[in-house]
Amino acid sequence: MSRGSEQPFVRFSTTGTSVAGALSGVAMAIGVPWVLLTHGQALGTSSQTLLVWVGVVLGGAIAFVSAFFGLVMPSQVGSEPWRGPDPHPPASRAGGAEKPEP
């Protein structure tokens, strides 16, 4: 085996999960204030302002966290994918395997 093939490699996901999460967060940061400002006239100005800021901050946090972890967390390290097949069959996990007698 050559020396280059023994070194582990890291591959990052290219499925667009971080983009979808970031777009969802941005939609929440824009949509919550829009709904509150168009349909929240019964609320007081201070509570309406507070809820608008909560929507903006929460949507921004969702967008940031999704984009950050979608770009930083690897999908494959070495030769095994993170979501690979289960190495333990269900029978061994559930206690279905027979135990040897002493």
Residue 68 lies in a domain: yes
Residue 4 lies in a domain: no
Across 24-28, 31-35, 53-57, 90-94, least confident range: 90-94
- Which residue range(s) make up the domain with 35? 28-72
Rounded mean pLDDT of the chain?
78
Residue 40 lies in a domain: yes
Is the model more confident about 22 or about 76?
Answer: 22
Token pair 């970031």 is found at 22
Vertex 58 angle, CA 17 and 55, to 5°: 120
**Local confidence band at 1 (pLDDT 50, 70, 90 cut-offs):** very low
Report how many domains make up the chain.
1
Residue 66 lies in a domain: yes
Residue 8 lies in a domain: no
Q: Evaluate whether 37 touches 48 at the Cβ level (below 8 Å).
A: yes
Residue 53 lies in a domain: yes
